Structure 1
Amino acid sequence: MINETQNDLNLVWHQLDGWPDATPRLYALKKYTIFAPLSNGNVHLLVDMAKHADLLWNAVFSTKLFQAYKPNPNAYLSALRHLSIPPEHAAMVAAHIYDLRTAGTLGMQTVYVPRPNEEGNPSVKPEEVKSKKDGGEVDWVVGSFEELAQVVERVNKE
């Protein structure tokens, strides 16, 4: 049986603060794109996180809806099907290289945003992730959502 302390610890995930640069840029980028997180967390968690951190998401995708957890390609493709967007018209923005590797194999654009203590894989050093133009495996490496906004605005003007 779960006691009150265990329940409080479990619910702490529902009240995570967003990265300080995320919310202002998400509002600014709304005119250019759809933001829809794809997470292995459940829908309730994702909705609570969005409410707590004031994250402007157009949709929320839990891989639990698709019975395929990341990095299973079906998780990414299922989310795209629900948005009626082909992979080549979508981008995966992530702080996890495994997310970007899978998305890239599906034809999605890939944007790496390194975040402290987020990679989850000690063999991957965020400073070693490089863009394709620099000999790496992702389309863009940006240091912040401010830089992401600049990339999206530039791409939309092309």
Structure 2
Amino acid sequence: MIKNVQVELNIYGQQGSSVHVTQLLGVTPDEQYEIGDLKGDGPRVFDVSIWNLFSNRHVDAIRAEHGQDPWGRVQWILLLLPHNSATLFTKLRLEGYLITLAVSLITDHEETTFTVPAQVLQQVAAAGLDLELTPRSTKHTQLSYHDVW
């Protein structure tokens, strides 16, 4: 049984900027960094631009729209994207950006297979994204999560 689903839309570029991504998609990220921004307090800097959107920062809004459906987190992110997102993601890829829709499936036991609803797969494909699934078991990894679906 899936206890939690954490979804991240990550866009990285060794050229360009996260501001460009925000302007193109019309979506404000939860986290963004530009090439040359300082990493923490140290002297290191980012060598890529980073644009990230995290479902776990919007749990209340997602539950208000999708209830307890664990796949609601994927759908919530997809609904934020413009209708022509597939075209926009193609443009970003041609500009050298890497784009990942990462889904972590958290369970209380070791599970190696999951069923992803066909509707979710169709929506992900229509948005021009690939779905990266990562199962994680709390029995084999030190994970903590604040909410249970």
TM-score, structure 1 as length reference:
0.29
Q: Which has the higher strand share?
A: 2
- The answer to which structure, 1 or 2, has the higher relative contact order (CA under 8 A, 6+ apart) is 2
Higher helix proportion? 1
TM-score if structure 2 supplies the norm length?
0.30
